[in-house]
């Protein structure tokens, strides 16, 4: 599934769930026919970070990422705490699937880092499965060192890049 498709499915899915909640702000909630109007594009608010069922809550409040030590794929105590929260969220929001992205810092050869990122993503996946999340809802992908979020060549940046990020999506994992 392409990244674009994931985004499209996510927006459609969240829009649909917003329509079923009349108390929510946004254009999708007031009156029959809203959200299906023939004349134009309706918009519905995505759940905010304060809505515990929203992907925003997942990424911002629970935390979508865990960090790793140099050349390691073992989870830290802090990482496990974050993942406990992720597991809980996934178990109470069964419509969502997740892709776990593994990343490495730039200190390493390219292919080894792809392998290392795969190992990190898998460490997260296995932990979530051990906490009861069905493995069928989780996929892993490694970007190696190709997608840094911090670009300096110092430990302060490297530490942020050695990460596994859980990306929430709606739809089938085909």
Footprint of other proteins on this chain (CB under 8 A)? 1-3, 6, 71, 73, 99, 106-112, 114-116, 118-119, 122-123, 125-126, 139-144, 146-153, 173
Q: Which is nearer to other proteins, 23 or 154 (CB)?
A: 154
Minimum CB distance to other proteins smaller for 78 or for 109:
109
Pick between residue 54 and residue 140 the one whose CB is nearest to other proteins: 140
- Per DSSP, the three-state class of 141 is strand
The alpha carbons of the chain give a radius of gyration, in whole angstroms, of: 18
Q: Return the H-helix or E-strand segment holding 169.
A: strand 163-170
* Of 114, 96, 111, 80, nearest in space to 167 by CA: 96
86 or 169, CB closer to other proteins? Answer: 169
The residue behind tokens 């105590």 is 77
Distance between CA atoms of residues 172 and 87, nearest Å: 19
Q: How far is the CB of 166 from other proteins (least distance, A)?
A: 15
Q: Nearer to other proteins by C-beta: 47 or 145?
A: 145
Minimum CB separation of residue 152 from other proteins in Å reads: 5
- Tokens 């705490």, residue located: 81
Distance in Å, CB of 157 to other proteins, minimum: 8
Spatial CB neighbours of 18, under 8 Å, sequence gap ≥ 6 = 24, 26, 28, 29, 44, 45, 46, 47
């Amino acid at each position: 599934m392409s990244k674009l498709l994931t985004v499209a499915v996510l927006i459609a899915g969240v829009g649909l769930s917003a329509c079923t909640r009349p108390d929510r702000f946004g254009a999708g909630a007031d009156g029959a026919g809203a959200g299906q109007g023939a004349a134009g594009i309706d918009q519905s608010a995505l759940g905010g970070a304060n809505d515990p069922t929203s992907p925003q809550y997942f990424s911002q409040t629970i935390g979508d990422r865990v960090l790793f030590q140099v050349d390691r794929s073992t989870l830290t105590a802090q990482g496990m705490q974050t993942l406990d929260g992720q597991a809980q969220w996934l178990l109470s929001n069964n419509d969502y699937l997740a892709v776990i992205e593994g990343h490495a810092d730039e200190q390493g050869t390219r292919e080894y880092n792809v392998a290392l990122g795969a190992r990190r993503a898998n460490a997260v996946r296995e932990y979530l499965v051990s906490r009861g999340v069905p493995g069928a809802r989780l996929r892993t992908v490694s970007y190696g060192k190709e997608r840094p979020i911090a670009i300096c060549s110092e430990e302060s940046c490297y530490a942020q890049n050695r990460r596994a990020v859980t990306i929430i999506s709606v739809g089938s994992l085909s």
